[in-house]
Amino acid sequence: MKERVTLTLDSDVIKRVDSTVDGFNVKNRSHAVELLVLKALGDNVPKKAVILAGGKGTRLRPITYEIPKALIPVHGKTLTEHLFDLFKNYEIKDVTMAVGHMKDKIRDYFNDGSKFGLRIKYIEENEPLGTAGPIKLGKKLFKESFIVSNGDELKDINIEEMYRFHKENNALATIALTTVDDPSKYGVARLSGSRILEFVEKPKKEKAPSNLISSGFYIIEPEVIELIPDGFAMFEKDVFPKLAEMGRLYGYPFSGQWFDTGNIIRYEKALKEWKDLV
């Protein structure tokens, strides 16, 4: 519920506030003031993020025979550190890593996160738990909106804008959607407005409902955790379809960089084309 307030501000301050109004992301002066207050209070983005780093990286062999995906180098730092850069750009300092394959190597490298300017906790998988299973395992850690990101992708997303979109739509989960030229190799989003109805898996290019695919980056409300089955569970198959039926699954298209490093060819492309965030 919103309440009306009256503010007395210096005219120069008002001009600076008004300069942020674009009629789209910032609708009017009142909206601009609200966004600035939320940012000052630290409520403009989720405070916690999860990185899914438990996979074996079989499509990246022989690299991953000795190195876990989380530690694969890109431009002199690990894949994971590029995600850290994204989070730190939005003052997100609490990161949980879901680890399984070669988990000791990952923990030894990142430790408590202090050398990266973060606070890192770990959810340890003794057996593969999929993309959603680790979240259920660590449910006590998540009491407010939080981010979940795949660990094998490089991405540049306006998290503040995405979070605002998430809240304005009263979503239980919002998926960051990126555009691809050929969607036939992916699960493709079918939308009604901004609401996701379903993902169509690997459609023929001419029959694809859109060119928008999941970037493997989500904002999720803690209530969603109760919908995750125990044990091995996938957001894509076990959770998101339920949210779509409820009308509470939304897609946030973004135009920033996105590189999937899941196989050797895509990894090489990322090495050549990714532009570091910091």
Catalytic residues: 202
Cis peptide before 128, with omega less than 30 degrees from 0?
A: no
Residue 148 and residue 150: Cα distance in Å, rounded? Answer: 7
Residue 258 and residue 143: Cα distance in Å, rounded? Answer: 29
**Which of 149, 151, 136 minimizes the C-alpha distance to 176?**
149
Residue 18: partners with Cβ closer than 8 Å, 6 or more residues away: 29, 32
**Which of 93, 147, 142 minimizes the C-alpha distance to 120?**
93
The token pair that represents 194 in the structure block:
């901004």
| Number of alpha carbons in the 13 Å side-chain half-sphere of residue 166 | 23
Residue 223: partners with Cβ closer than 8 Å, 6 or more residues away: 172
- Cβ burial of 38 (10 Å; 0-12, 13-18, 19+) is middle
Residue 21 and residue 204: Cα distance in Å, rounded? Answer: 41
